[in-house]
Amino acid sequence: MVNFVLVAGARLGAWAWDDVVPYLRAAGHGVHPLTLSGLADKRGVPAGQATHVQDIVAEVERQDLRDVVLVGHSYSGIPVGQAAERIGDRLVRVVFVDASVPTDGKSFSSAWPDGGAALEASIAENAGFWPLAPTAHYDGEGLTDEQIARLVRGSTPHPGATLTEPAVLAESLSALPATYILCVMPGAEPDDAEPDANVAELLNSTRWRLVKMDTGHWPMFSQPRELAQILLNAAVE
């Protein structure tokens, strides 16, 4: 048995894993979906990047979890990657689900093509939060209308400081046992069907694995059974 700690991306909370959790529990594993500070049921709690890292580490330590598989989706790959090196021998594997990966001294926003200028302007204009995404943001991602409605209904504005403050790593993530799940819609452009340069470099490590899913950026909604199976496979690699 392993313990999956599931952390969803920006604007989302533990609820985003509701369709995945039953498959993991049916396989006999511990499953711990986590809401980060400032989001969903923890809305209003002040948060920076270090807060989100500590949220994850504290959950592992509070429950004295062992044989941990840390799973980070989208934005949450950044705090999950940092937390993975902090929990030491409790970690079995870290899984990045179509996620950003942390680089020491770099923030989530700094990886944007404009260096984060537009994102930071949006945060400044919205009282320090990244505002909710419009419904159209989820088009073309393999989601049903009902799934899009759930995403829109459940989302909360995201604490801006968590996106602009830098990651802190002791060493390269290449030293961690990791699986990267790349979500690619059928018919996608060739550039979109391969991981970005940062992830591609990490995949040169013998400790990293790449898995592709034929779906959009929110596979916990569009393909929960398939995502769960990939997580189960990653736990025994």
Distance CA 101, CA 12 (A): 18
Burial class (CB in 10 A: 0-12, 13-18, 19+), 27: middle
Separation CA 232–CA 226 (nearest Å): 10
pTM for the model stands at: 0.97
Give 175-214 pLDDT, tens digit per residue: 999 999 999 998 877 777 789 999 999 999 999 999 999 9
* pLDDT tens by residue, 17-53: 999 999 999 999 999 999 999 999 999 999 999 999 9
